[in-house]
Structure 1
Amino acid sequence: MAGPAPAAPDRAALGLVSDCASCFGLCCVALPFAASADFRSTKEAGKPCRNLQDDFRCGIHAELRETGWRGCTVFDCFGAGQKVSRVTFGGTDWRREPGSARAMFEAFPVVRQLHELLWYLSEALALPAARPVHGELRRALEAVDRLSRESAEVLAAADVPAIRAETGDLLLRASELARAGLPGRRRNHRGADLVGARLAGADLRGANLRGAYLIAADLSRADLRSADLIGADLRDADLSGADLTGSLFLTQPQLTAARGDAATRIPDGLTRPAHWARPSDGPPAAGR
């Protein structure tokens, strides 16, 4: 029987927790978006969002969802913004030094992908059942972390798709080890088109939902314990009353993109989205 896993890398120490106050608004400039249900208007890559203020803060941050910018509330750079701003470019302000802007905006999405991989690797290292691959996971984490701290020139030349593919294979092995001891048949919906699927109350314990399209799917009261959700698209999925405890590789952006309620059980380390239904949305709770 596998013993407890060694202490997982501290995500804050790895710089994986976003600190917008230490960033030059890179997500509001470097990335493009198209007018849709998530964004009120279209913006080209490298062009500042119209809501970005001179101090690099969002002028409508408190009203983003209500004013047609809910995509902004879902996005998380996993700390890439402050690393590119403060480490890669040493505090260079793209407004004060416009010559740095293009390289900075190109580096940001690369580091963002690397930080997302670091997030997954740190989670895999916390899985006791994945102990047989902990050595490989730790070496991969160290290599990705080193790359994320390289110069803008090195980052621009990085083969990120190859790194993602190699790391993804390793994470899959960790996932399979973590789910191997679960009872019953484990469903494989990897990459499946489950848009709008009716899965209310479904037993999806230990299921492989990697990259599955679960947009607007009804997952209310579904049992998703220990399910592998890496890369699953949960936009507008109904997670009301669902059990996500112990689910693998679920991120805050995925959770925030979905719908849930006070009965939704979420993994440790994630935060219940502010827009989800609260106990106050129904009958008054006892003692309130």
Structure 2
Amino acid sequence: MSNHLSIAIKVRESLQADCQNCFGLCCTALNIVASSDFAINKPAGKPCPNLQQNYHCRIHSELRDTGFKGCTVFDCLGAGQQVSQITFKGQDWRQSRAHAEKMFQVFPIMEQLYEMIAYLAEALSYQVDHALYQQLLAQLEELQQLIEHDAATLLALDIIAIRMPVNALLLQTSEQIRLKGKAAKKLNQRGADWMGKNLKGKDLRATDLRGSYLIAANLQNANLQEVDFIGADLRDANLRGADLSTSMFLTQMQINAAQGDRFTKLPSYLKRPAHWH
């Protein structure tokens, strides 16, 4: 196994949420707006009424049936336990109210850092040129150092400024992988509004679908290899039988929000959602 691939795999495997070592931050720190995904309105910093004293969810096995589908979609990639156990050294926000507000503010920042780390780790798994590989690796190492900082340093970060060079490198990665021998103009569907569109069985290989709207789109049996999915909205998209085995920058949250089956081919680092069965 090549060195760049082993680094990528090691990082990706470490990006797993461990709810047992988190103090219910996704159930408390985030703002929730009542919708088809959430049955209630909940302001940031207020615990969900279903969150118990032991930080377990009272309706965990019934979330989708009780109007909390969005909870089954969410994936912090491990940002929750990083904030709980590393940044705040295991201090429970219920018992350390002085730290509660800062903890709730740090969590969404950490979540974004983890998301960027995941994207960079994936980019490092591809066969890009040496110069780009070195830039990706340097950027990854910088982010891995940032997540170890204290709360005050994390709260002072300019996330937009951090995202800019990361995004530029991910774009270069996407172009190097997708556009080998292909016409870039034909494959550029960035930001496309394909909500509800019937794309059943279509060959969409290497298409740039960054930021596209694919809500309830029919992508059944479509070929989605090398498709760039950064920021694409896949809520209720039909991915049954679709080939996403080599799709680029696809997240667990996007997959969790979509519909699929046992014939859907996923990248190795993503899990088949339980509700697909």
**TM-score normalised according to structure 1 size:** 0.91
Structure 1 range deviating more: 22-31 or 176-185: 176-185
Give 1:193 shift: 1.7
Structure 1 range deviating more: 4-13 or 57-66: 4-13
TM alignment of 1:1-288, pairs within 5 A: 5-9=4-8, 10-11=10-11, 15-181=14-180, 186-276=186-276, 278=277
Gap runs ≥5 in structure 1: 279-288
Contact 1:199–1:220 at 8 Å: present in 2 too? yes
Equivalent position amino acid for 2:217 in 1: A
Q: Distance between the aligned counterparts of 1:232 and 1:174, measured in 2?
A: 17
Contact 1:5–1:131 at 8 Å: present in 2 too? no
Contact 1:201–1:220 at 8 Å: present in 2 too? yes
Equivalent position amino acid for 2:195 in 1: V
Post-superposition Cα deviations, 1:51-104, rounded to whole Å, max 9, x if no partner, equal 001011111111111111010000001100000001111111110011100000
Contact 1:24–1:85 at 8 Å: present in 2 too? yes
Taking structure 1 as reference, are residues 122 and 141 closer, same or farther at Cα in structure 2, changes over 3 Å only? same
Secondary structure class of the residue paired with 2:197: coil
Structure 1 range deviating more: 27-36 or 182-191: 182-191
Percent sequence identity over matched residues? 49
Which structure is higher in helix share? Answer: 2
Kindly tell me the number of residue pairs found equivalent between the two proteins: 274
Q: Distance between the aligned counterparts of 1:172 and 1:205, measured in 2?
A: 17
Taking structure 1 as reference, are residues 236 and 75 closer, same or farther at Cα in structure 2, changes over 3 Å only? same
Give 1:5 shift: 4.4
**TM-score normalised according to structure 2 size:** 0.94
Structure 1 vs Structure 2 CA RMSD = 1.7
Contact 1:4–1:128 at 8 Å: present in 2 too? no
Tell me the residue number matched to 1:282. none
Give 1:6 shift: 4.3
Contact 2:12–2:121 at 8 Å: present in 1 too? no
Give 1:105 shift: 0.3
Gap runs ≥5 in structure 2: none
Tell me the residue number matched to 1:286. none
Secondary structure class of the residue paired with 1:128: coil
